[in-house]
Amino acid sequence: MTSIEHNLQQVRERIAAAAARCGRAPEEITLVAVSKTKPAGAIAEAIAAGQRVFGENYVQEGVEKVAALAAHPDVQWHFIGPLQSNKSRLVAEHFAWCHTVDRLRIAQRLSDQRPAHLPPLNVLIQVNISDEHSKSGIMLEAAGELAQQIAALPHLRLRGLMAIPAPEQDYARQLAVCQQMADAFRALQRDYPAVDTLSLGMSDDMDAAIAAGSTMVRIGTAIFGAREYARPSQQ
């Protein structure tokens, strides 16, 4: 067993345990393996261990990995980093999901640039749930209006919400923030029955996110080891 295979097994066991504690089935929760800054060879190891969903933060790096691993058409690529307008075409052309839509202009560009032969791009609205100036995302109260605008775009499929809460060590406070997101997610579902995804939870707050109702967790270091962060020019 490789170290990546072992790490994936441990992460899956942690997801299953967190789900069991709140009466949920682990199958309700998708694991996105965050592979930013890691080589294609490490992703290939994860694929060999059964992982099929990967998240990339840097557009050009992600596109190169999509091409390098094109022999695995069942792999699903998620873009989970901040998206600049001048890189939207690459995301529209190469990824199945974009988690970080936070303004109409980006949504319109993604829809316009999505190739006709591909299914609609699955998108999540990124919410700045902790109101951090350093984080992307819209305010929670603005999500409904943006959802209405995205739902009208022909080549996008609105799937739900995403957030990166501010780091917090106290479980009760983690849970309170995650429940805010879960409440907004359920409200969105009432208006848009196709909405089914709450992308919430990373290594440090995954248990609270799952307890609140997250359907997708994003885990990187616990699977691939410590990262060497890419330079801003690689966005």
What tens digit of pLDDT does each residue of 126-143 get? 999 988 777 789 999 999
Between the CA of residue 25 and those of 29, 148, 215, what are the distances in Å?
A: 8, 31, 11
The pLDDT of residue 135: 79
Average pLDDT over residues 187-205: 96
CA nearest to 131, candidates 96, 177, 85, 99: 177
Average pLDDT over residues 182-206: 96
Mean pLDDT of all residues belonging to the chain: 95
The pLDDT confidence band at residue 213, using thresholds 50, 70 and 90, is very high
pLDDT of 54 > 60? The answer is yes
CA nearest to 103, candidates 89, 132, 83, 117: 83
List all residues 6 or more positions away from 40 whose beta carbon is below 8 Å from its beta carbon: 64, 65, 68, 69
The pLDDT confidence band at residue 167, using thresholds 50, 70 and 90, is very high
Average pLDDT over residues 220-233: 74
Strands 121-127 and 76-79, by their bridges, are unpaired
pLDDT of 232 > 60? The answer is no
Domain locations in the chain as residue ranges: 3-100+165-226
pLDDT of 202 > 60? The answer is yes
pLDDT of 71 > 50? The answer is yes
The pLDDT of residue 136: 85
The pLDDT confidence band at residue 231, using thresholds 50, 70 and 90, is very low
The pLDDT of residue 229: 57
CA nearest to 123, candidates 142, 145, 96: 96
pLDDT of 227 > 80? The answer is no
Q: Cite the DSSP H helix spans in 36-164.
A: 40-48, 59-68, 88-94, 104-113, 143-151
Percent of the chain with pLDDT over 90: 92
pLDDT of 233 > 80? The answer is no
Report the C-alpha gap between 58 and 47 in whole angstroms: 20
The pLDDT of residue 1: 75
Q: Is 191 helix (H, G, I), strand (E, B) or coil?
A: helix
| Burial label, 156 (beta-carbon count in 10 A; 0-12, 13-18, 19+) | buried
pLDDT-wise least confident of 57-66, 98-107, 182-191, 218-227? 218-227
The pLDDT confidence band at residue 228, using thresholds 50, 70 and 90, is low
List all residues 6 or more positions away from 34 whose beta carbon is below 8 Å from its beta carbon: 54, 55, 56, 57, 80, 218, 219, 220, 223, 224
- The domain covering 3-100+165-226 belongs, at the CATH homologous superfamily level, to Alanine racemase (3.20.20.10)
Q: What is the pTM of this model?
A: 0.94
